[in-house]
Amino acid sequence: MLNINAKLNELENKGKKIQIGLVGAGQMGTGMVGQMALMKGLKTAILCDINLENARNAFVESGVDPAEIIEANTVESAQNAWERGKYIITSDHEIVTKMGQVDVVIDATGIPEVGARIAVDSIYNGKHVVMLNVEADITVGPLLKKMADSAGVVYTGSAGDEPGAIKELYDFADGLGFEVVACGKGKNNPLDYEANPSTVQETAIKKGVNPKMLTSFVDGTKTMVEMTCVANAVGFVPDKTGMHGPSCNVEDLPKIFSLKEQGGILSKKKVVDFVNGVAPGVFVIVTTELEVIRKELEYVSMGKGPNYVFYRPYHLTSIETPLSAARAYIYKEATIAPLPRTPHAETVAVAKIDLKKGELLDGIGGYTVYGTIDTYESALLKNALPLGLVNKNVKLKTDVRKGEIITYDMVELDENSFILQLRRLQDRLFAK
């Protein structure tokens, strides 16, 4: 079987390209458009953003002549522009999911509510789905995967995003027959549960990123979300609520992520965790009982064991996403996707500050809540509210103390929320 690069070259030589519909022209989406412009066998056919100028600029920055960019307000006008060889922008994501020429839809919005809608509409219209929206995946991913399987299309997370990069390492290790002890990632900024868009604004401006996005990294939410995604894709769990999060370097990873009786921090194997340091790297910790393999690993400078680290020092985020689109289209395979059964982990909402009855919550990267990982079973027992269901219309029915896990009975949910309705369906589907 030819590799993806050869297959993309083959498509290009035949004058065919995989047609990509991309939703979200922020930092990630803009970089992705530029990368796809360099690739063979792929084309960004249509780009959607609520700010049309963002979409237009993304195409221009990738080298497209502005005169070749057409705004579409209907599916018919988008299809007509495509037939004339134009590049299409729109502010309506339904045009992307319904446009007949689109083969793969990529969601780069990062908004759970929007991502869930895009995924369902894409699946309904026979499109493969690449979710660069881990927040939606950890909330309703198992249901979306089941829907995609039934429709004969691929639902997948993204290569280059940390969960996808970890899953590739896991598949490598598991495929070789190693026992995988732990999967993890590095965190490249100090954990500050109280971070909010105001406290990170100066840094966000310097880095040219959205303050809410930066907040979600600093307060740990993004790490919890990403490792929940990994847990549900490989069947692992956090060793404890919030994970351990030790500080260390790559060389110390095998020792730290060993069982307590071996001098490590783990109470069990098959866990997900993170490290303060080694960022932007990802890793898996493996072991083997075969002495002959231990000798071979020592010979190739992997250490004396009994644990070993397979480490990737980079992940290229949206730059690698097109590879997941190609893999879905060519091989009908996912880079990373939830296992087809009850989830193993959940990211639950925690009060960032003392909150009062009647207050509205603001969601990921905001002022009121952050996310922490827990096992799915523990979250059920606590009646904990999944973070992905929190939006600006969710109201508190009681006071909540700082650091307290928010439960379903503490809030009035947004009954108009699409992702909430999907989550209820998923809960019924996977109920034990």
Q: What's the whole-number mean pLDDT along residues 1-12? A: 88
Answer yes or no: CATH 3.30.720 is held by domain 345-429.
no
Count other Cβ atoms within 10 Å, centred on residue 278: 24
Q: What's the whole-number mean pLDDT along residues 59-87? A: 97
Closest CA to 306 of 267, 248, 263, 270: 263
Cis peptide, bond prior to residue 280, ω within 30 of zero = yes
Domain spans, the chain: 4-159+319-331, 162-315, 345-429
Pull the structure tokens for residue 372: 């922490």
Q: What is the pLDDT of residues 379-418, one digit of tens each?
A: 999 999 999 999 999 999 999 999 999 999 999 999 999 9
Closest CA to 251 of 304, 291, 295: 304
pTM of the predicted model over 0.85: yes
Looking at residue 208, its pLDDT comes to 85
Looking at residue 2, its pLDDT comes to 60
Pull the structure tokens for residue 98: 């319904």
Mean confidence (pLDDT) of the chain: 96
Looking at residue 189, its pLDDT comes to 79
The CATH homologous superfamily for domain 4-159+319-331 is NAD(P)-binding Rossmann-like Domain (3.40.50.720)
Indicate whether 1 pLDDT > 60: no
| % of the chain at pLDDT higher than 90 | 95
Indicate whether 155 pLDDT > 50: yes
Residue 111 to residue 185: CA distance in whole angstroms: 22
Q: What's the whole-number mean pLDDT along residues 106-114? A: 95
Q: What's the whole-number mean pLDDT along residues 64-76? A: 98
Alpha carbon of 144 to those of 117, 149, 331: distances in Å?
A: 10, 9, 19
Q: What is the pLDDT of residues 324-346, one digit of tens each?
A: 999 999 999 999 999 988 899 99
Q: What is the pLDDT of residues 345-355, one digit of tens each?
A: 999 999 999 99
Identity of the residue numbered 39: M
Looking at residue 432, its pLDDT comes to 61
Helix pair angle (221-234, 162-175), 10° resolution: 30
Query: Both ends of the chain: CA-CA distance in Å?
Result: 40
Residue with tokens 């370097």: 249
